[in-house]
Structure 1
Amino acid sequence: MASTVIHAYYDDDDVLMHAVKKVKAAKHHIEEVYCPFPVHGLDKAMGLAPTRIAITSFMYGCLGLTVAIVMMNYIMIADWPQDIGGKPSFSYMENMPAFVPIMFEMTVFFAAHLMVITFYLRSRLWPFKKSENPDPKTTDDQFVMEIEVHDNEAELKELLLDTGAVELNIIKNSH
């Protein structure tokens, strides 16, 4: 099956945001937008679902806090209790104020590292992965909006040129 897409090139992120809003208002589906840097608000303008990475971050932080509490209770109370600075070594609750920095650091450590790993796995990014951007210019100074053509090529070209596209390319893919 052959599919045709239009790549509309933009040289400014504000012009791109305006173009995305106009294309969505005209009821066209934007397949993808390739940018050299993150554009604030682009996901909402494209109508993408909100990310759930914050939820996973909270769960990973809770896991880190749990690991820190269990680890400190085992190491400092159960396994090898020591009298450090005159603090009692028989109760976790009596020592907890001294353990707060460790609990905080383990929470942040787990949340940060596991969130990055989750992002890479979810985005299917791994070492030696071939890039998916359609044009090397999108890693430097150009923005590309990709729209699939459904017997409306002339209408799309006119719309995209009206939105400020500096270049249009028609790409025919055969799958």
Structure 2
Amino acid sequence: MSTNKVIHALYNDDDILMDAVKTVKDAHYHIEEVFTPFPVHGLDKAMGLAPTRLAITAFLYGITGTAVATWLTWYTMIADWPQDIGGKPSFSWAENMPAFVPILFELTVFFAAHLMVITFYMRSKIWPFKEAENPDPRTTDDHFLMEISVNENEEELKALLQTTGAVEINVVDKH
């Protein structure tokens, strides 16, 4: 068999899919990808995927937002155009900081949220008008698809997948 072939095993239940992923991984087969209509809790661990570092980037983006907010409030209210608002002194950022807390919070959240969306789309290679790479349209509705690479082991892999509760098994050429 050619190495550019894959087996698509379709399942109609997420619990059956989780058991099938564990069975396939225990048999030492490489799962290329799993397509699901909704997030399946624990699937990343069952597949043996490394933990994501998106939380670290979110924290760094939040720190960046806080730094920008600190600079913005200092520059606009202390350095550029100091004003006496409500009797608050305009010569010290530290004395005015309690009044700036909403701005600090909002810009922290703004930077973290917007930069995380951009990072997620870039990391996932998703951009506007990109064609879907979904191998079977049923995986957007009610089916789960496990894609496994074929390496001279097509028949034994099909037999294994039959025992896992797959409702459909197809061998396809991967583009």
| Alignment TM class, shorter chain as reference | over 0.9
Q: Displacement, 1:172?
A: 2.6
Cα separation, 2, equivalents of 1:108 and 1:39: 27
Output the CA distance in 1 between the equivalents of 2:157 and 2:62.
46
State the Cα distance separating 1:151 from its structure 2 match: 1.3
Query: What count of residue pairs does the alignment treat as equivalent?
Result: 174
**CA RMSD, Structure 1 to Structure 2 (Å):** 1.1
% identical equivalent positions: 71
Gapped regions of structure 2 (runs ≥ 5): none
- Give CA deviations for 1:128-170 in whole Å, capped at 9, x if unaligned: 1010010111111110000011111111111111111000011
Mapping for residues 109-148 of structure 1, pairs under 5 Å: 109-148=110-149
Instruction: Classify the secondary structure of the residue corresponding to 2:15.
Output: helix
Q: Deviations over 1:50-97 (max 9, x none)?
A: 111011101100000000000000000011111111111111010011
Q: Secondary structure at the match of 1:130?
A: coil
The TM-score normalised by the length of structure 1 is 0.96
Residue 165 of structure 1 corresponds to 166
Q: Which runs of 4+ in 1 moved over 4 A?
A: none
- Deviations, residues 92-141 of structure 1 (Å, cap 9, x unaligned): 01001111111111111100110110000111111110100101111111
Structure 1's 66 and 51: CA in aligned 2 closer, same or farther, altered over 3 A?
Answer: same
Q: How does 1:25-174 map to 2 (within 5 A)?
A: 25-173=26-174
Task: Give the unaligned 5+ runs of structure 1.
Answer: none
Specify the SS of the correspondent of 1:27: coil
TM-score (norm 2): 0.96
Which amino acid letter does the alignment assign opposite residue 133 of structure 1?
Answer: N
Q: What is the CA–CA distance in structure 1 between the aligned matches of 2:51 and 2:67, rounded to whole Å? A: 28
